C-alpha cells in the first residue's frame, strides 16, 4: 500500500524556512526539555547508591533501573493514546507533575531509609519520565518530513542545558548537607521542584497544540500540502492498535534499534555510578560523568537531525548501534575516571543518532492521529528491554565482573544489525510499500 503521508521526495525542493510560530514553540519545548531531565539524571546518579544504603548490599543495585523501565512500559502506550485523543500537551503536563511528586518521595525514602518509599518514588518518577517522552512526538509533529529530524534535534538539544543543571543540584545538596543534619541525596531530591515547575510553565506556553499543527501543516508551512488520508484506509487508521503498529516492517526496525540502544544505555548508566562510587569518586564527580553522557545523548541532536534529513534514517541507525557498542566495551575496561566517562559518552552519542532517526522514521510512516500510540508502542518495547538489562547487569557484576557487563552491552547494541536490511528507505523519509 502506498504511504499516504508522503507524496513526493522532500529533498527535490529547497528546504522551507521555519515559521516564527513554529520556532517559538520549538524554543519553549527545548527549554522544557532542558529542565525536565534533571529528575531522571538524579535517578541515574543515585538509584544504585540509594538501594545499597537502604539494603546494605549490591545484589539489587539494578532495582531502580528495573522499576524505571517497568513504569515507563506501563505508561508509554496509554499516555500515547491519551495524547492522540486530547493533544500532546496534556500528556506532558501529567508527566511533569508525576516527575515532581516522585522526586519528593525519593527524597523521603533516603531520609527514612525506606525501601517501600524508594520503590513508590522511583515508580512515580518512571511514570512521569515515560509520559514526558511524548515531547518527541510533539516536536516532530510541528515539522514537515524534509525538516522533521532537524526540528526534533532542536528540541532535544535543550537537554544539554539540563545535563549541567543536575550537577549544580547535586552540588547544592552536598553543600547544604555540610551545614545541616539532612542527607545530601535527600536535599538534592528536594530541590527538583525548582526545575520541574518552570518546565511545566514552558509547556503551557506552547500554542496551538502540536497535534493540531501536524494535522494542518499547510496552514503553518508555505508550500506544504494538507495531510490526506486515503479513504480506503481511514477506518484502519482510526482503529489501529499495537498489533497493527508492530506489523509494519519499517517500524519493526526502528523499534529494534531504539529498544536495544535503550537497553544498553540503561545497563551502563546504572552500573557505572556504582563502579565510580566504589572507586572513591565523589557524588559530584559521578554526576559530572552522567552529565557528559547526557551531553553525548543530546549535544549533537541538531547535527544528527540534519544528517538524518540529508542522508536518511537508515545510515544513522547503523552507525549509532556501532558507536554505542564501542562505548559499552570501554566503560568497564579500566578504573580510570575519564576512560569510563568516555565510554559512557559514546553510549549516549550512539543512542542520540538512533533516537533521532527512529523517531523520525516512526513519525514519517504514521498518521498524526496515531503518532502518540506509535511512539508509545516503541517506548514500551524499549522499556521491556530496559527492565531486564539493569537487573542483568547487577547479576553479571556479582558473578563475572564488570568487563562482562561491557561485552554483553556491546552485543545487545549490535543485535538489530541482523534485521537492518528490512528497512526499505529509498531516500530520506521515503519508504517502499
* pLDDT of 429 over the 90 cut: no
What pTM, to 2 d.p., does this model score? 0.83
Q: For residues 170 and 291, give the distance between their C-alpha atoms in angstroms, rounded to a whole number.
A: 11
Across residues 232-255, what is the average pLDDT? Answer: 71
DSSP string, 172-221: HHHHHHHTSSS-HHHHHHHTTHHHHHHHHHHHHH--S-HHHHHHTHHHHS
Of 363, 423, 355, 358, nearest in space to 5 by CA? 363
57: left (phi over 0), alpha (psi -120 to 50) or beta: beta
pLDDT tens per residue across span 8-25 = 444 445 777 899 999 999
pLDDT tens per residue across span 111-121 = 999 999 999 99
pLDDT on residue 433? 67
Q: Evaluate the CA torsion angle 176, 182, 184, 187 in order and state its sign.
A: negative
Q: For residues 375 and 370, give the distance between their C-alpha atoms in angstroms, rounded to a whole number.
A: 9
Angle value at C-alpha 232, between 429 and 208, nearest 5 degrees: 55
Domains of the chain, residue spans? 16-222+241-423
Domain 16-222+241-423 matching CATH 3.20.20.150: the answer reads: no
Of 219, 177, 148, 189, nearest in space to 45 by CA? 189
Q: Which percentage of the chain shows pLDDT scores above 70?
A: 92
Q: Which of 31-35, 90-94, 413-417 has the lowest mean pLDDT?
A: 31-35
Q: Prior bond to 208 cis, omega within 30? A: yes
pLDDT on residue 4? 45
pLDDT tens per residue across span 149-171 = 999 999 999 878 776 788 889 88
Amino acid at each position: 500500500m502506498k504511504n499516504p503521508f508522503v507524496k513526493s521526495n522532500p529533498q527535490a525542493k529547497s528546504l522551507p524556512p521555519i515559521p516564527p510560530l513554529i520556532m517559538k514553540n520549538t524554543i519553549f519545548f527545548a527549554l522544557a526539555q532542558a529542565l525536565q531531565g534533571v529528575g531522571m539524571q538524579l535517578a541515574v546518579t543515585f538509584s544504585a547508591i540509594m538501594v545499597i544504603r537502604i539494603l546494605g548490599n549490591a545484589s539489587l543495585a539494578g532495582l531502580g533501573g528495573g522499576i524505571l523501565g517497568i513504569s515507563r512500559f506501563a505508561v508509554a502506550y496509554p499516555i500515547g493514546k491519551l495524547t492522540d485523543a486530547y493533544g500532546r500537551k496534556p500528556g506532558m503536563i501529567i508527566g511533569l507533575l508525576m516527575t515532581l511528586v516522585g522526586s519528593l518521595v525519593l527524597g523521603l525514602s533516603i531520609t527514612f531509609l525506606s525501601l517501600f518509599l524508594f520503590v513508590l518514588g522511583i515508580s512515580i518518577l518512571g511514570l512521569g519520565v515515560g509520559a514526558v517522552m511524548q515531547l518527541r512526538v510533539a516536536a516532530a509533529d510541528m515539522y514537515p518530513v524534509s525538516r522533521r529530524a532537524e526540528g526534533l534535534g532542536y528540541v532535544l538539544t535543550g537537554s544539554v542545558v539540563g545535563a549541567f543543571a543536575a550537577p549544580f543540584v547535586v552540588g547544592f545538596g552536598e553543600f547544604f548537607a555540610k551545614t545541616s543534619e539532612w542527607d545530601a541525596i535527600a536535599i538534592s531530591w528536594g530541590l527538583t521542584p525548582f526545575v520541574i515547575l518552570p518546565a511545566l510553565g514552558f509547556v503551557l506556553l506552547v500554542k496551538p497544540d502540536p497535534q493540531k499543527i501536524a494535522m494542518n501543516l499547510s496552514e503553518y508551512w508555505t508550500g506544504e500540502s494538507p495531510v490526506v488520508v486515503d479513504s480506503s484506509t481511514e477506518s484502519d487508521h482510526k482503529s489501529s492498535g499495537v498489533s497493527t503498529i508492530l506489523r509494519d516492517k519499517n517500524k519493526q526496525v526502528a523499534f529494534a534499534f531504539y529498544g536495544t540502544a535503550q537497553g544498553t544505555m540503561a545497563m551502563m548508566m546504572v552500573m557505572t555510578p556504582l563502579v565510580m562510587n566504589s572507586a572513591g569518586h565523589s557524588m559530584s564527580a559521578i554526576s559530572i560523568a552522567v552529565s557528559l553522557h547526557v551531553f553525548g545523548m543530546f549535544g549533537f541532536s541538531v547535527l544528527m537531525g540534519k544528517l538524518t534529513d540529508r542522508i536518511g534514517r537508515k545510515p544513522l541507525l547503523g552507525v549509532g548501534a556501532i558507536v554505542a557498542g564501542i562505548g559499552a566495551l570501554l566503560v568497564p575496561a579500566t578504573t580510570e575516571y575519564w576512560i569510563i566517562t568516555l565510554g559512557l559518552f559514546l553510549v549516549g552519542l550512539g543512542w542520540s543518532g538512533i533516537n533521532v532517526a527512529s523517531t523520525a522514521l516512526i513519525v514519517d510512516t504514521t498518521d498524526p492521529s496515531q503518532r502518540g500510540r506509535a511512539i508509545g508502542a516503541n517506548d514500551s518495547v524499549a522499556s521491556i528491554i530496559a527492565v531486564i538489562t539493569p537487573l542483568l547487569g547487577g547479576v553479571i557484576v556479582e558473578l563475572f565482573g564488570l568487563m562482562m557487563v561491557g561485552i554483553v552491552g556491546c552485543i545487545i547494541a549490535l543485535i538489530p544489525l541482523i534485521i537492518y536490511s528490512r528497512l526499505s528507505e529509498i531516500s530520506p523519509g521515503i519508504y517502499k510499500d
